[in-house]
Chains A and B, each alone.
Chain A
Amino acid sequence: MLRLEDYEKIIAKCSHCSYCQSTCPSYLAEQSESSVAKNRLLIIKEMLMHENLPFTPRAQEIVDNCLLCTNCTQTCSSKVPIDDIIIAARIKIGQKGVGGIKQFVMGKMLTQRGLTGALGKAGSLAQKLGIATKEIPQLASKSFDKMYSGTYTPAGTVKKRVAYFVGCGTNFIFPDTGEAVVKVLNHNGIEVIIPKGQVCCGIPALAEGDLEGARSMVETNIKLFTGLDVDAIITDCTSCGMMFKEKAAKCLSDDDPLQEKIAAVTAKIWEVTDYLQNQGLEVPPGRLDITWSYHVPCHRGWSPTVKDAPRQLLGQIPDAELREFDIPEQCCGGAGTYFMEHREVAEKVRALRLQDINNTVSDVILTQCPVCRFYIGFQVMDREVTHPIKILAQAYGL
Chain B
Amino acid sequence: MQGLVKDLATLLGSTQILSQPEEMLAYANDATHYFKSRIPDAVVLPHTTEEVAKVMKYAFEKEIPVTPRGAGSGLAGGCTPIHGGIVMDLKRLNQIVEIDGSNMTARVEGGVVLKKFQDTVEKRKLFYPPDPQSGCVCTIGGNVATRAGGPRGVKYGTTGNYVTGLEVVLPDGSIITPGGKFVKQSVGYDITHLMTGSEGTLGVITGVNLRLLPLPEADRTVIVVCETLEQAAEIVAEIIARGAVPAMLEFLIKLAITIMNQYFFPPLPTDGEGYLFMFFDGTEAQVEYEAKLVSEICHDMKAKEVRLVEDPRAAAAYWTARANVYPLIQTIFERANSEDITVPRNKLPDLVRAVQEIAAAEEVMIGLAGHAGDGNMHPSILFPQVTPEALEKSEFAIDKLIRTGLDMGGTISGEHGIGIHKSKYLAWELGDIQIELMKRIKQAFDPKGIMNPGKIWMEDGDKHA
On A, residues with C-beta under 8 Å from B are: 12-13, 15-19, 21-22, 31-34, 36, 38-39, 42-43, 46-47, 53, 56, 58-59, 62, 75-79
Contact = CB atoms under 8 A, between A and B. Distances in A.
Interface in B28-62: 29-33, 43, 45
B22 A59 contact: yes
A304 to B, nearest CB: 10
B328 A77 contact: yes
Contact of A58 (B22, B26, B331): B22
Nearest to B262: A79
B213 interface: no
A18 B327 contact: no
A39 B25 CA distance: 6
Contacts of B150: none
A16 B18 CA distance: 20
A18 B20 contact: no
B23 A62 contact: yes
B434 interface: no
Contacts of B137: 17-19, 21-22
Q: Number of contact residues on B: which range applies?
A: 35 or more
B106 interface: no
Contacts of B407: none
A18 B25 contact: no
B134 interface: yes
Contacts of A34: 18, 22-24, 26
Nearest to B29: A16
Given A31-B92, A32-B89, A22 B22 contact: no
Contacts of A79: 328, 331
Contacts of B31: 15-18
B93 to A, nearest CB: 11
Given A16-B31, A22-B115, A38 B23 contact: no
B25 A56 contact: no
Contact of A56 (B22, B113, B326, B331): B22
Given A19-B134, A22-B137, A33-B72, A46 B33 contact: no
B218 interface: no
B86 interface: no
Contacts of B91: 31
A17 B45 contact: no
A218 B39 CA distance: 42
A33 B26 contact: yes
Given A31-B91, A34-B26, A15 B330 contact: yes
Contacts of B191: none
A74 to B, nearest CB: 12
Interface string B71-105: 11100000000000000010110100000000000
Count chain A CB atoms within 10 A of each CB in B23, B24, B324 and give the residue with the most: B23
A16 B334 CA distance: 13
B27 interface: yes
A73 B32 CA distance: 21
Contact of B73 (A17, A56, A59, A78): A17
A58 B20 contact: yes
Nearest to A53: B21
Given A17-B134, A39-B25, A75-B136, 15 more contacts: A13-B331, A15-B33, A16-B29, A17-B326, A22-B136, A32-B23, A33-B27, A33-B72, A34-B23, A39-B23, A47-B22, A62-B22, A62-B23, A77-B324, A78-B328
Nearest to B332: A13
B89 A16 contact: no
A12 B385 CA distance: 12
Interface in B106-135: 113, 115, 134
A130 B18 CA distance: 26
Contacts of B327: 15, 17, 19, 76-78
A255 B235 CA distance: 53
A19 to B, nearest CB: 6
A79 to B, nearest CB: 5
A62 B23 CA distance: 8
Contacts of B115: 22
Count chain B CB atoms within 10 A of each CB in A43, A59, A77, A79 and give the residue with the most: A77
B330 A78 contact: yes
A300 B32 CA distance: 31
